[in-house]
Amino acid sequence: MPEVETRNGPIEYTFLDGDPEAAPLVFVHGGTGAIATWNRFPRLLAARTGRRALLFSRHGNGFSGPAKLPRTPRYMHEEGQEKLPELLDLLGVERPVLVGHSDGGSMSLLYASVRPVEAVVALGPHLYCEESTLRGVRAARESFDSGGAFAKRVAMMHADPKTVVEGWSDVWLSPAFRTWSIEADLDVTAPVLLIQGDQDEYGTLGQLDAAERALSGPVRREVIEGGGHYQHMADDPERVVAAISSFLAEFVPGHRAPEAHV
């Protein structure tokens, strides 16, 4: 896997082939995510849309360099408005289509508040701290500490899985994070697609309500009945892929129409 050296250390990344003239998809993973945790989803979406795709692992995740810990309640601002711009500049990526999941959805919206983008797709983003999110984080931490299935999955994806989970859960469960919110910090005029499962174990649909209030550009909302927090990585992510492709065809000039799914 290639690496690029940033001010805060090396970042692993990979590109998927696509139209070199179109703005690439940039996948921004969640708190315990990495390149590998996206599963088939990026390839399916890149193939459907014809766009190149950039995947990377943030510091501390996957096999990138270590993160600076402990994180503060502003870590999503730091990732979205300082580190992600630096990475994209180093890789020559301009006006991307950001596809962010969970914490990565929040970072994508924060990036689009300070840098131009073609569009943002936010999958289960967090706009503020709510109790349902904290319950999900506590459950994940308990599963990891007990050596359950979650611990085994994380161990396969990261060089230092313990630090990944503790660094993510410690900041979310800290008292200072109870008042965390990005609602007043968003200045996004680009088109945004909000996607969330109505059974999301890390947040209620109130997160999408907050996003719609905070965003000033075109917004489309897609609620997946029976879907959880990782619907795009489920056995059949077709509904998510189709929703994104249709959204880009409608809101991004020059985007090719979605191909028929075979």
| Residue 100, both tokens | 């962010």
Please determine, for residue 261, whether its predicted confidence score (pLDDT) is greater than 80. no
Instruction: Confirm whether pTM is higher than 0.85.
Output: yes
Q: Are 109 and 122 in contact (CB under 8 A)?
A: yes
What is the per-residue pLDDT for 148? 86
What's the full length of the chain, in residues?
262
**Kind plus residue range of the DSSP H or E element containing 3:** strand 3-6
Burial of 184 (0-12, 13-18, 19+ CB in 10 A): exposed
Rounded distance between C-alpha atoms, residue 171 and residue 75, angstroms:
9
Contacts of 5 (CB under 8 A, 6+ apart): none
What are the tens digits of pLDDT across the range 53-68?
999 999 999 999 999 9
Tell me the pLDDT tens digit for each residue of 170-226: 999 999 999 999 999 999 999 999 999 999 999 999 999 999 999 999 999 999 999
Q: What is the pLDDT of residues 12-22, one digit of tens each?
A: 999 999 999 99
pLDDT digits (tens, 9 = 90+) for 65-99: 999 999 999 999 999 999 999 999 999 999 999 99
CB 84 within 8 A of CB 107: yes
**pLDDT value at residue 149:** 87
pLDDT at 236 over 90: no
Chain-centroid distance, C-alpha 152? 22
Other residues' Cβ atoms within 10 Å of the Cβ of residue 20: 8
Of the pLDDT bands very low, low, confident and very high (cuts 50, 70, 90), residue 119 is very high
